[in-house]
Amino acid sequence: MTFVFEEIDYQETPRGAISLRKRSEPRLNHKVLYEVKMNDEFLMSSLFVEAEVELSKQGLAKFSGQDIDVVVGGLGLGYTARAALDFVNVKSLCVVDVMAPVIRWHEQGLVPLGEGLTNDPRCRYVLGDFFEFATAANTNFDGTEGNSKVHAVLLDIDHTPSYWLNPENSRFYTAESLNAMKAKIHRGGVFGLWSDEAPDDVFVSVLESVFSKVETHMVYFDNPYTGKKSSNSLYISHVD
């Protein structure tokens, strides 16, 4: 089988250079992978998506039989959004991303899940800073003026609560900012967060000071590069 490598898109943005590429992986029988890079750092690969999917599954599981409005912070390759839309009771899904190229990749069908997300009438993309929208007073999650509430917020932007893509994001992971976001979630709602590392006890304590109940989950998956299991973690926090 012919080796595949293609840089599908490369764009300079105010936050750095972002690129989308696809390549075949000889170690996986030439499976075609999609990868996102920010400057020289890998942000996401279609090879490792289990935890992104589980973020929606764990975050939305409690809402069986109830129509819900959901916000996803960070579009990436679309796996968290796609898993959210697999719940038939999701009435609306607002996906907020600060990177215009990432939204465009989905709108133009340049990534595998793009067409399905774009054509689902429940899903809409919003270009903007999730952290700003989530914490600003009298601002909805889509950046418009108002005080609308949602049932679930699922966040996958930074590597961990203490390892950020942008240093300014650090301000979100505080009791003050989390309380501001919590005010925009219905009672009985959920805030779910993806992390590249095991749960951080210090951040769990911050969450417990804001939310009525906090759960952490480890998600394990096969890593063909190491021949071992790798893992991500999830924080699932409940609004009373």
pLDDT means per 10 residues, the chain with 240 residues, are 86 92 92 94 94 98 95 98 98 97 98 98 98 98 98 98 95 98 98 98 98 98 94 98
**HSE (CB half, 13 Å, CA atoms) of 50?**
14
**Paired sense of beta strands 5-13 and 16-25, if any:** antiparallel
CATH of domain 48-238: 3.40.50.150
CA atoms 189, 141, 116, 10: torsion sign: negative
Tell me how far apart the alpha carbons of residues 77 and 103 are, in angstroms, rounded to a whole number. Answer: 10
What is the structure's pLDDT at 94? 98
CA angle, 62 then 102 then 3, to 5°: 105
What is the structure's pLDDT at 1? 56
Q: Which two structure tokens, joined as six digits, stand for 224?
A: 């063909």
Q: Which of 74, 48, 45 is nearest to 141 (CA)?
A: 74
Q: How many residues does the chain have?
A: 240
Residue for token pair 């690129």: 19
Location of each CATH 3.40.50.150 domain in the chain: 48-238
Residue for token pair 């992978």: 33
